[in-house]
Amino acid sequence: MEPDASPTARALLTLELIQASPGITADQLGDKLGISDRAARRYVGILREADIPIESVRGRYGGYRLGRGLRLPPLMFTGAEALGLVMAVLDGHHNASDPTDLVGGALGKIVRALPESVTAQAEAVRRTTAPAPDRAAARPDPETTTALVQARSEQRRVRLDYRTEAGSERVFEIDPWAVIVRHGRWYLLCWSHTANAQRAYRIDRVRGVDVLDATFTPPTDLDPAAELEAHLAVGWEYDVEVVVDAPVDDVKRCVPRTLGLVEPVDAETSRLVGSTSNPKWCAAQLAAIPASYRIVKCPELREATRHLGQRLLAASDGPGP
C-alpha cells in the first residue's frame, strides 16, 4: 500500500479485507496493508468506533470477521477496477480468484453483493476454476490504456515513451486513432508524426503517456481492425512475394491476413505480397494452402520451406507400427 495513504483509506481497506477473508488475523492484515499488526488492530478499532460490528475470535482458527447487522454501502468500484473489468471482458482474465488483482478484487465485490445462495456457487467457480494461461497475451497497464482511450475520445495528440521489441527506448508523437484487442494483445493504431506514417504500437510496451495540447481529426472511413491486420503484415525484416495457382478468394480463406496482401493475377492465379521476421512460421502458413505455389521473392523463406519439406518427407518415410 502507498505510504501516504490516509487513515480513512486504510480503514476502508481493512474492512474490505475482513469482509473478503473472514477469520483474517492482525498479522495477515498488517502484511496486506504494509503496516504492523499493532497498526492493523488500531484500524479495526476505528471501524468499531464507526459502529461497524467487527467480531474477534481467539484461538487457532480465530481472527476478525464481520458481525451480524452490518449494512454495506452501495457497491462502488475504483476507476482502475472498472477499467480492469472492461478489459477482462474484452480479452479474458486469469486472476479472477486473486483478491489483490484489480479484476479479482472487483469481482469479489460483485459476488459478495449477490444473494447468499448464488454467492456460494459463484465463489466455488471463481476459486476452483483454473484456466489455462494464454502465453501470447500481453495485458497493458490499465492507467496507460485509460490515458490513451481518453486522448482518443478527446482527439488529443500524445507523446509516447515506448520500448521496442529489441529493447530500445523511443519517443513518438502520435495521433491515437483506435485501441484494438487482437488475440490477447492490445494495440494502438495511430498516425505517427515522428515517422510520418501510420503505425500500430503494442500498448504493453508503452512506458509513459504525455497528453499534448494539439488536436487531430481521425479518418472518417477508418476500419481499425482491418487496418491493424494490414499493418501487421508489412514492415518486417524479409519481404515476401508468392504466386499461388488458385483464385484469390480461395487463397484468402487459407492464409491469415497478417501474412500479407493477396491480389489476383488472373482468374486462376493469385499473388501474396507481404513481409515476415519469421520465415519458418511463414513457410508453415503457406503449407496449408491446398494448391501449388512458387516463392518469387525471399531466399530465407525458400530455405525455410525446403527444410519444412524435408522434415515432412522424413516423417512420412518412418517405419510403420
What CATH number is given for 238-316 in this structure?
3.30.70
Q: Which of 305, 288, 242, 287 lies closest to 269, judged by CA?
A: 242
Q: What is the pLDDT of residue 113?
A: 62
Enclosing H/E stretch for 295: strand 293-297
Q: From CA 87, how far away is CA 74, in angstroms rounded?
A: 23
pTM listed for this prediction = 0.54
CATH topology for the 7-66 domain: Arc Repressor Mutant, subunit A (1.10.10)
What DSSP letter does each residue of 172-183 carry, written as one string? Answer: EEEEEEEEEEET
Q: Which of 269, 267, 188 lies closest to 227, judged by CA?
A: 188
Spans of all domains in the chain: 7-66, 79-128, 142-221, 238-316
Give the largest Cα separation in the chain, rounded. 83
Q: Which residues pair with 24 in a beta bridge?
A: 64
Q: What is the pLDDT of residue 274?
A: 85
Instruction: Say whether 311 sits in a helix, a strand or coil.
Output: helix
Q: From CA 234, how far away is CA 259, in angstroms rounded?
A: 9
Q: What is the pLDDT of residue 126?
A: 58
What CATH number is given for 142-221 in this structure?
2.30.30.520
Q: From CA 220, how far away is CA 218, in angstroms rounded?
A: 6
Q: From CA 220, how far away is CA 226, in angstroms rounded?
A: 14
Q: What is the pLDDT of residue 117?
A: 57
In order of 188, 190, 230, the CA distances from 261 in angstroms are: 21, 20, 7
What DSSP letter does each residue of 222-270 carry, written as one string? Answer: --HHHHHHHHTTSSSSEEEEEEESS-HHHHHHHS-GGG-EEEEEETTEE
Q: What is the pLDDT of residue 152?
A: 92
Q: From CA 53, how far away is CA 223, in angstroms rounded?
A: 55
Mean pLDDT, consecutive 10-residue stretches, the chain (321 aa), reads 57 81 87 88 85 78 73 61 65 62 69 60 61 68 88 94 85 93 84 90 93 94 84 78 93 85 91 88 91 93 94 79 57
